[in-house]
Amino acid sequence: MKKYNVITIKKTYASYVAQLVTSDQEALISLFVNSNTIVIDLDTTTYTNQHERLTLETETLIYASDNIDTLERAMRDIGFRKCDKCGKWIAPQDLQTQSHYMGNDTRYCNTCFEQEYKNLYVINGYHSDYNGWGNDARDSKVRYFKLDNETMDESNFKGYGFEIEIDNFNNSRLRVRKDNRYYARVTDDFYNLNGKTRKTHFKFEMDGSLTYGFEMISQVFSRKYLEQLDFNIIADFMKKTGHDDNVKSAGIHLHISKLVFGDNSKEQAINFLKLAYFMTIYKEDFIKLSKRDENSMRYCKFYTYDEIKDYHEAIKRLDLSCNATDYLNSDHNRCLINSKATFEIRIFRSVADAQWMKNCFLLFAGIAENLKNVPFNKIYCLSKMLKNVDLKVINYFRKQGLFMRTYASEKEGEQL
């Protein structure tokens, strides 16, 4: 009886999971019984782009061949790679959570990465659970910071947090993947900068998307706490590491709790689309604000009017029993994405400019908290959209020529 080498690929949300198994012909044929299973015999069938046919969580794609080389070549053709430690196939999507590249581009699945590097000084898996605010992440608890007169607790915390990617292609001092002792030393310096302990405010972690750098990840702050945070300490630290402001692939990502956008998922999804719509209407201003050039905007593409309209029509039809935010985009190459408990703004270039960072965050905080008060047909109006933003923040950007114009009527902009 013929022996098949079989790979099973399932699509769950935006990622694929692959597992290598073996089967005889009879077992392979039995797979056809399931209407949600697509079986591709690579010895007789062309396999190009077959994985793109997977659309539902319950669907399964089977690649089968009596030649293991044929099977592995097919997997590589669709973008999968093997973990160099355990041999498991690594998914092509979202490499930061599915795989990490350390040292000589060694490939790891998430499990092997944690096992291999669990004893390093500050690599503790914190970021992998970051979007699930409120959960413990190995030895690092997610902490919430607010002023003494604020009454929010963890269950209703309307919070803000951010990730700063620190990198330099040419600076050997920042080659943390080659020398983790340096990594530990610079982060220890930050924790004790200016005699102030900052360990409770920030964590540091490797980032698979960076060449020699790492990522600085904040805890969760209320808006009022964010306003009094000293960003000069952050900018000084970035400069001290040797960070290069010109590295196009390094960015800053702002997380805003979904509770800021509304009390239920439908309201949150609608206000997400309002923000995406506002950013598209004032796209030129936001590109200048981001400090990115046209080439690096591929990491944070804006939504088109048609995309926003299609999302809006679909979400309006949902009842409150549905989790409406699940229908939103989670593609990491968009300017605004849906994460687990937050919406993430990804337009900013990683630049060690304290005043700019703080004003960018406070601008979006003010806009986000006011979205529920602005109907879709008034999103074009700057006076309404910026009503909750501090005047000092608005003037900071207007001195740079941003947000100086507004549409006199909706007809002057594209209508949703």
Q: Which domains does the chain have, with CATH numbers?
A: 3-79 (no CATH), 127-412 (3.30.590)
Rounded Cα distance, 142 and 140, in Å: 7
* DSSP-derived 3-state class of residue 409: coil
Q: In the numeric block, which tokens belong to residue 365?
A: 């905080």
Amino acid at 397: F
Q: How far apart are CA 57 and CA 15, in angstroms?
A: 10
205 vs 102: CA distance, rounded Å? 12
Convert the pLDDT of each residue in 295-310 to its tens digit.
788 889 999 999 999 9
Give the residue with greater pLDDT, 321 vs 145: 145
Question: What is the structure's pLDDT at 106?
Answer: 65
Q: Cβ-count burial of 93 within 10 angstroms (0-12 exposed, 13-18 middle, 19+ buried)?
A: middle
Q: Has residue 173 got a pLDDT over 80?
A: no
Q: Is the pLDDT of residue 178 over 50?
A: no
* HSE (side-chain half, CA atoms, 13 Å) at 141: 5
pLDDT tens-digit series, residues 328-381: 877 778 999 988 788 999 999 999 999 999 999 999 999 999 999 999 999 999
Q: Give the count of beta carbons closer than 10 Å to the beta carbon of residue 25.
A: 13
Between 59 and 65, the more confident residue is 65
Give the pLDDT of residue 64: 77
Confidence band of 95 (pLDDT split at 50, 70, 90): very low
Element (H, E) at 101: strand 99-102
In degrees and rounded to multiples of 5, residue 6 shows phi and psi of -125, 135
Question: Could you tell me which of 415, 400, 251, 220 has the C-alpha nearest to residue 335?
Answer: 251
Interacting residues of 346 by C-beta distance below 8 A, sequence separation 6+: 251, 253, 299, 300, 332, 334, 335, 336, 337
| pLDDT value for 407 | 57
Q: What was the pLDDT predicted at 90?
A: 73
Whole-model pTM? Answer: 0.67
Confidence of residue 10 (pLDDT cuts 50, 70, 90): low
Strand partners, 23: 4
CA distances from 233 to 115, 160, 206, 263 (A): 33, 18, 21, 35
N-term to C-term CA, the chain: 61
Residue 130 above 60 pLDDT? no
What's the whole-number mean pLDDT along residues 136-147? 61
3-state secondary structure of 10: strand
Residue 97 to residue 29: CA distance in whole angstroms = 35
Query: Who has greater pLDDT, 326 or 134?
Result: 326
Q: What is the pLDDT of residue 328?
A: 87
Residue of 401, 396, 403, 393 lying closest to 226 (CA atoms): 393
Instruction: Please give the distance of CA 94 from its chain centroid, rounded to a whole number.
Output: 9
CA atoms within 13 A on the CB side of 5: 14
pLDDT at 350: 94
- What value, to the nearest 5°, has the Cα angle with vertex 344 and ends 360 and 386? 40
| Structure tokens given for 296 | 């690096």
Of the two residues 16 and 331, the one the predictor is more confident about is 331
Q: By C-alpha distance, which of 185, 183, 147 is closest to 166?
A: 183
Q: 52-62: per-residue pLDDT in tens?
A: 555 555 567 77
The rounded distance, in Å, linking the Cα atoms of 112 and 86 is 7
CA distance 236 to 115: 33
Tens digit of each residue's pLDDT (9 = 90 or more) over 201-242:
787 776 666 766 778 888 889 999 999 998 998 898 888 877
| pLDDT of residue 94 exceeding 70 | no
Ranges 46-55, 117-126, 281-290, 319-328: which has the least confidence: 117-126
Taking all residues of the chain, what is their mean pLDDT, rounded to a whole number?
A: 75
Position with higher pLDDT, 55 vs 79: 79
Token output for 18: 């692959």
DSSP letter at 121 equals: S
CA dist., res. 263 & res. 260, Å (int): 8
32 pLDDT higher than 50: yes
Confidence band, pLDDT 50/70/90 cuts, at residue 171? low
In the chain, pLDDT over 90 holds for what percent of residues? Answer: 31
Return the bridge partners of 65, or none.
5
